[in-house]
Structures are given as C-alpha cells and as structure tokens.
Structure 1
Amino acid sequence: MRIVTALGSAALLPQGPDVSRDAHRANLVSAAKALAKLALEHQVVVTHGDGPQPGVLALQGQAGPSAEVMGTQTDSLIGYMLEQELGNWLPFDTPIATLVPMIEVDPDDPAFDTPMHCVGPVYDRAEAERIAVRTGWQMRADGGGWRRVVATPVPRRIFQKRPLEWLVEQGTIVLCAGGGGVPTAYNDAGDLVCVDALIDKDFAAALIAREVGADLFLAATGADAVCLDWGTADQRAVKTAAPDALERHAFAAGSIGPKVAAACQFVRATGKPAAIGALCDLSAMVAGARGTVISPDVTGITFHEPASEPGAALAPEMRHGT
C-alpha cells in the first residue's frame, strides 16, 4: 500500500523553550520508530510540520529572512535529522531521501489580501511598528504581543512530482514538503519565483497524497482522534466518519481543523480513506483500529467506546495539537 503520512508539529517537535539539537533528536526518535514500522510493510512518503523552527531561525538571523526561505531551511534541517533516525530503525540498505519541493500557488490567491499566519518571535507593539516600517512586514496582535503575519495560499501542484514518484517506485522512503513546501509562482514575465508566504502543511500533504496516487492519507498529531464537542462533558472521539458528516461540525482553525479539511479533501478527490490520530498509533490507524477514519464507504459518524477500547478516547491531558 502507498501511504502519505503527515506528521504534525505537536507529534514531532519540542514545543518548550529547549530548541537544541538534542531536544529535537529525542522527539524524532519516537517518530522514526513509528515510521519505520510502517515502512517495513508499505511504500511511505512523509511530510511534516516545522513547529517553532521558523521563529527560531528568525531569532537567530535578525536580518529577517523571508518566510519561504525559513521554510526551506527548516524542511532541510528536520529532514536530515529524521533521515538519520529512520536509518537507525530500518535495515542498513533502506533508501531514504529528503526532497524540498517547490509547490505552485496562485499569486492572486485571496489569502494574500488578508495574511493571517503568525511567524517568528513576539514583539511589543512599538518594536513591531518599527520592524513593519523597516521591512514592510505586516504585523498583528497575537496573545500578549505582536507578530509578523504571512499569507497561506492554497497549494495547486508540486513541481517535483516526477522525481518524487520515481523515488517512491524505487522503494525509497521520501521525506517531502516539510512545513508545507516552498511556495512558488509565475510572475508577470513568466519567470518562476519564490513567494513570501507559507503553505498549510496539511493541505500540502493532501496534495502530495493525491499527486502520487496514495492509497491512504494519514495525519499524525498530538491527539488520539478527532473529537466532537471538544472540552465539554459531551466530548466524543470519532471512530469513523463520512466527509460530509464530519464537516458539518466546527473544528479549531489553528489545530485539528486543517487536518480534518485536508483529509476530507483527499477522500473526496480520490475515493480513498484518510485517518487522523496519534503518532504512536500509525500502524493501528492503517488497520482502522485507532484514530479517526474518514471514508467514502461509510455514512454518518460512529464513535469510539472508551470502556471497551482502552485508550481510544482522548485522554484529558491530550489536546488538538498541530
């Protein structure tokens, strides 16, 4: 089976103040174990979030690199580290490669009119205004401070589709489009140029899954399953759902929402299933035993039964991570 697995930032990277290489490595070990088990039985393409890395790079390089440059750097950084850890859990001759693809976006995408995605460090208002004047960046209030915001245009196609397909057909485990890939567009002169924006990693992963003909799209996050009525006494962990039935419910835009939307998009476009759940449950998600399976072959929504399926429901401390 050909599987595209999207690793969310909460499932992959340290979220606290420790952004050292050792802290990253510790998180990547658990990811590598889960992915290696999957790769021993299936063709695997892995996409991943970039967590706090663009902000870390912005702090390290005060010259202010553009958003797509930061995304490219973090894609390479995480890809290299994940490659090494996968090599520790797979047969020594298993081919593994990191691909940093350009992904086409529309320069007239409405997202450019209202950039909303926060990147980089937090500033006080006065500093944010000074930076905006100097750089032309757009800034907005975020929590107790101010941050830079960039657009998140819809991904349209992956330029490196042919080499990606060739690598997969040769049995290579491909790490691809970390952080959403590199947003690229044609300018008025017909030249291909990078765009100062970020692509939502879940929609990029769903695009890649469609482009390579994946049989299954997996979204691994920091939660065991998609929940309805999150954080209330009526909270229920979804076991199976039809796309239309699941999309009748609202989900947090900054966390589980894009995963649900991307998974439903993949299912509708391909007629094949998708699943959302915890990183440690990847193999069980393939079997349909854990997480939330979104399928064209079911109607309505069914729920996990916590009493009969220990661990299937979200634990109280779990959150809808990205």
Structure 2
Amino acid sequence: MRTVVALGGNALVSGGEGSVAEMRDHLARATPELGALADRGHDLVVTHGNGPQVGSLLEEQAATDTPERPLDVLVAETQAQIGTLVVRALDDELDARAVSMVTHAVVDPDDDAFDDPAKPVGPYLNAETAAAADYPTREVETEQGTVHRRVVASPKPRELLESEHVARLVDAGTPVVCGGGGGVPVSHGDSTEGVEAVVDKDYTTELLARETDADTLLMVTDVSHAYRGYNTPDEEPIRDVSAETMRDYLDAGEFEAGSMHPKVDACLDFLDAGGERAIITSIDDVAAAVDGDAGTRIS
C-alpha cells in the first residue's frame, strides 16, 4: 500500500507564525500517526505546506537590508528548512530512514492564473507603498481595516522534475519528504528558470500521488472533516462519500476557495485518474481515518 500524505500549513502551525518550535510540537503529534501507517505496511510520501515560513522571509526582506531573493528561491529555502524537521521527526517513528528532496514544479507560462494573480503573499502594505510597488497588489479586509498585499499567480503544476527519483526511492522502501509548498515554481524549456508564483501544494500532492502510483491520497489539515455548510448553523461533517456526490458539493460551492476547495478538487482528480481512495482529516486522526473511523473518506 502506497500513501501520499499532505501535511497542510495549518496542520503544522495552526494559526501561529511557523516557528521551528511550533512546527516541532505539531510534528510530535503527526509523526506517531504516520508511524502507525508505516507499521501497517504503508509506503509513505509526505508533502507539506510552507506559507507562514515564506511569509516570514518576505517580511524579513521588507523590514531589513537583507538582500532580496526571488519567490522561487524562498520556496526552495523553506522546503529544505521544513523538510529536515519532518525527516528528523519521522526518523524517531520509522524503521527506515526518510530522505528530504527539494522538488521543482513545472508550470505553464501561459496558464490563465498569470492573467489574474490572486494568491496573497508577504507583509501587509499601506496604500502608498502598494501604489509604488513594482508588482501587483490587492486590497484585503482585516480586523484592522483595509490593507494591501502583494499577489502572485497560483498555477497548477504540469510536471514534477523529481517524480521519477521519488518513485525509485519509495520502491526501495525509503520514505520521502518532498513537494514542499507545492514545489519550486519553474518553467522548463531549453533551460529551467524560476517563476514568481505559488504552486498549490494540494495539486502538487495529487500529481505526486499519480506519478508514484499511490493507492491513497491523505490530506491532513486543521479540521477533522470537510463540511457542508461550514461555519453556519447547518454545518454537517462529510464522512463516507462517493466521488460523484463530492463533485456535486464542490460544484455547488460548499468549499471555500484557497482552503478546502483545492483539497477536495485534488482528491477528485486523484480518484478520476484511478486512485482508490482520498481522505481529508486532522493531524490527530490520520490512522483512524485510514481505518475508516474518522475523517472524510471519498471513494
């Protein structure tokens, strides 16, 4: 049994700033669950979010004289940072030593996402700073009022340059941590060039699951289930559900864009491509969800 697990950014930090200490605390909860899967014969590929960590680096650049690094380089930095923490935590739970791999996600420069950049990144900006910026910005409503944020495109990945290497390692019994933050966004023609974008981790995870012939796709986030009517008086957890019914919920707008929507969409893409099952659950319910006793289970 091969399982690809996405540790969402919220599962790693739960509203915090993404400090090393905070991530270690969350990983101490997550990795025993992953160890339980490994003990039952699951070969593991683990991806992770990096939003708070990239945000901290962008704020650092804005507030100091730190030399500016492009977004693709920051994604690579945080992949290595978080990857080493996940590997160390996994090594305390698994018999086989895990490896971390910086992963590059090829995007199409003609993707429609580049026509309407919508992914907010970096610090809050005042109106004057936003007007003078040499990058696109967008107004954002916060508890403190209206602010501005830099926005970048969030295209779907077309290819992962390291998928073949990941598959070979997993075939040999080595757990792999990769695809962090959706992967380093690049264009890949005559040469490989970094792209100012953020690739959605959920779609990268789904692509990895297909390209490594996984049986199960597991999305770990900060809620126990996907919900209908989330944050309303009619809120209802979705438990066992068919892909067809989940697609109806998705098309009806049940899931928030940028949050649960891409997770559900990626799960359905995986099942459409021949995957056996997809699961959405919280960091504490991983093993129980795989056993059929927790989470949202789509088949």
TM-score (norm 2): 0.91
Alpha-carbon distance between aligned partners in 1 of 2:97 and 2:294, rounded to the nearest angstrom: 29
Work out the CA distance in 1 between the residues paired with 2:157 and 2:222. 24
Q: Does 1:253 align with 2:251?
A: no
2:77 — aligned with what? 73
Distance in structure 1 (CA, Å) of the matches to 2:138 and 2:278: 35
Contact 2:216–2:276 (CA under 8 A) maintained in structure 1 = yes
Q: Distance in 1 between matches of 2:288 and 2:165?
A: 30
Following TM superposition, by how much is the alpha carbon of 1:61 offset from its aligned partner in structure 2, in angstroms? 2.6
* In structure 1, C-alpha distance between the alignment counterparts of 2:19 and 2:270, rounded to whole Å: 35
Runs of 4+ in 1 over 6 A off after TM superposition: none
Match of 2:202 in 1: 202
Matched residue, 1:9: 9
Change (3 A) 1:20 1:236: closer
Question: Which letter does structure 2 place at the counterpart of 1:206?
Answer: E
Q: Check if 1:218 corresponds to 2:250.
A: no
Report what 1:37 is aligned to. Answer: 36
Q: CA deviation at 1:60?
A: 2.1
In structure 2, relative to structure 1, the CA distance for the partners of 1:114 and 1:282 (3 Å cut) is: same
Tell me by how many angstroms 1:271 deviates: 4.2
1:15-164 mapped onto 2 (5 Å cutoff): 15-17=15-17, 19-41=18-40, 42-62=42-62, 63-91=67-95, 94-130=96-132, 132=133, 136-143=134-141, 144-164=146-166
Deviations along 1:111-147, one digit per CA (max 9) or x if unpaired, are: 00101001111111112223x1xxx211111223111
Q: Report how far residue 37 of structure 1 moved.
A: 1.9
Give yes or no for contact 2:119–2:154 (8 Å, CA) kept in 1.
yes
Return the offset for 1:272.
Answer: 1.6
Q: Describe the superposition over 1:236-292 as per-residue Cα deviations: whole angstroms up to 9, x where unpaired.
A: 111122223112222100211111111011011114210111111111121222111
Q: Which runs of 5+ in 1 are unaligned?
A: 296-322
Task: Provide the C-alpha distance between the structure 1 equivalents of 2:20 and 2:191, rounded to a whole number of angstroms.
Answer: 37
Other structure's SS at 1:203 match: helix
Check the 8 A contact 1:275/1:292 in 2, yes or no.
yes
| Counterparts of 1:139 and 1:22, CA distance in 2 | 32
Q: TM-score, normalised by structure 1?
A: 0.85
Which of 251, 271, 278 is matched with 1:274 structurally? 278
Cα distance in 1 for partners of 2:20, 2:156 equals 32
Aligned counterpart, 1:284:
288
- What code does the residue aligned with 1:30 have? R
| Paired residue secondary structure (1:289) | coil
Q: Deviation at 1:31?
A: 1.9
Partner residue of 1:240? 240
CA positional deviation for 1:152: 0.7
Quick one: percent identity of the two aligned structures?
37
Moved more, 244-253 or 75-84: 244-253
Gaps of 5+ in 2: none
- The 2-side partners of 1:38 and 1:90 are apart by 10
CA distance in 1, matches of 2:229, 2:154: 27
Q: Which SS does the other structure have where 1:140 is aligned?
A: strand
Aligned length: 286
The Cα of 1:14 is off from its aligned counterpart by 4.8
The one-letter code sitting in structure 2 at the alignment partner of 1:88 is: D
RMSD: 1.5
Structure 1 residues 161, 16: closer, same or farther in 2, change over 3 A? closer
What SS is found at the alignment partner of 2:51?
A: coil
